[in-house]
Amino acid sequence: MATRKIRLDGDDVLRKVCKPIEKMTPRLQTLIDDMYETMYEANGVGLAAPQVGILKRIVVIDIGDDNAYTLINPKIIEADGEQTGEEGCLSLPGLQGTVTRPNHVICEAYDEDMQLRQIEGEGLLARAICHELDHLDGILYKDKVEDGLYKVEPVEPEE
């Protein structure tokens, strides 16, 4: 596993639509492993493949609830409720903004074994799913911010 460079706002790759995955390969498995390592190193809760420069429909999420989610070709099939809260992004370090998202989502995606699964999320998990899936279509959270972005102290990675 290796830490990959996180692409920052302004990089064209973040505004492109990603391509679906047709089959799991050793190369894609390495990408997924690297994405987890990169996300953990940066103290993130989610990371999408375009954030490391790869235009594939892959997302990894770990909100600290003892579950880690690998979502391949994910799509939200149900969304309801509403939550408004602060969001940040590893591609926009040191910034946050207020975004309204669904409070509950059901996401259909393939796992690393290419088995179709449904992931149901509420609260933070629903927010993370929506945020990361937006990345796959070239959408950044700053596009949905309600009152503009503001600076925050970046979270330093733990030793």
Cα–Cα dist 108/76, whole Å:
6
Say whether 104 counts as a known binding-site residue: no
- Annotated active-site residue 132? The verdict is yes
- In three state form, how does the secondary structure of the chain look? CCCCCCCCCCCHHHHCCCECCCCCCHHHHHHHHHHHHHHHHCCCCEEEHHHHCCCECEEEECCCCCCCEEEEEEEEEEEECCEEEEECCCCCCCEEEEEEECCEEEEEEECCCCCEEEEEEECHHHHHHHHHHHHCCCCCHHHCCCCCCEECCCCCCCC
**Per-residue tokens: 154:** 């970046």
Which entry of 112, 120, 132, 153 is annotated as an active-site residue? 132
Residues making up the annotated binding site are 89, 131, 135
Residue ranges of the binding site for Fe cation: 89, 131, 135
List residues with catalytic annotation: 132
